[in-house]
């Protein structure tokens, strides 16, 4: 019977660790129920004194394991390097030639190297029509700044 009690406790503790990875409460609740069931089995099998000690010890262990798992995962997430942002990747397209995929009035879309990208016309005096050839001259936030390759 002690093997069953130990297995329930270990599975409950594992579910507490899993709760730190998959927050939501369901997995942690199932882990708590398993630990309580193991304590009830301990009470029934070994008496009130042993059951009470087991309950206090398993509760302290569950709290320690749960907090440790949460803080280790939070620390790992907080210290992980940030993902490179998409605008930084856009800098290397300056000078690239493409075509207007959706009329720029002054914003729209261009197609460069087979990829559709948000763009803004260099000047808002005249709209750049769909199909016109444009060159990337810079970047403005999330927009590529483009200019027509031929002047009318």
Specify the pLDDT at position 142.
84
Residue with tokens 């200019």: 147
Q: Name the architecture of domain 86-148.
A: Beta Barrel (2.40)
Percentage helix, strand, coil for the chain under 3-state DSSP, each rounded to 5? 55, 25, 25
Q: Is there a contact between 73 and 21 (Cβ–Cβ < 8 Å)?
A: yes
Per residue of the chain (152 residues), what is the pLDDT tens digit?
889 988 998 998 888 788 877 777 888 889 889 988 999 999 998 898 988 898 889 889 888 887 887 787 777 666 655 554 455 454 578 888 999 998 888 888 999 888 899 999 888 778 888 899 999 998 888 889 998 887 65
Beta carbons within 8 Å of 105's beta carbon, 6+ residues apart: 121, 127
Strand (E) or helix (H) holding 145: strand 143-148
Predicted TM-score (pTM) of the model is 0.48
Domain spans of the chain, in order of start: 2-79, 86-148
**Predicted confidence (pLDDT) per residue in 62-90, tens digit:** 888 878 877 877 776 666 555 544 554 54
């Amino acid at each position: 019977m002690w093997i069953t009690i130990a297995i329930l406790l270990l599975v409950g503790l594992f579910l507490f660790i899993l709760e730190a990875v998959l927050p939501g409460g369901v997995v942690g609740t199932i882990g708590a129920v398993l630990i309580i069931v193991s304590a009830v089995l301990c009470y029934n099998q070994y008496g009130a004194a042993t059951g009470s000690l087991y309950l206090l010890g398993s509760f302290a262990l569950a709290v320690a394991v749960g907090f440790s798992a949460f803080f280790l995962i939070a620390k790992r997430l907080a210290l992980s390097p940030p993902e490179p942002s998409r605008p930084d990747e856009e800098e290397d397209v300056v000078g690239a030639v493409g075509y207007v995929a959706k009329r720029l009035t002054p914003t729209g879309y261009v197609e460069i190297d087979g990829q559709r990208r948000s763009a803004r016309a260099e000047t808002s005096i005249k709209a750049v029509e769909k199909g016109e050839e444009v060159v990337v001259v810079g970047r403005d936030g999330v927009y590529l700044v483009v200019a027509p390759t031929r002047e009318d």
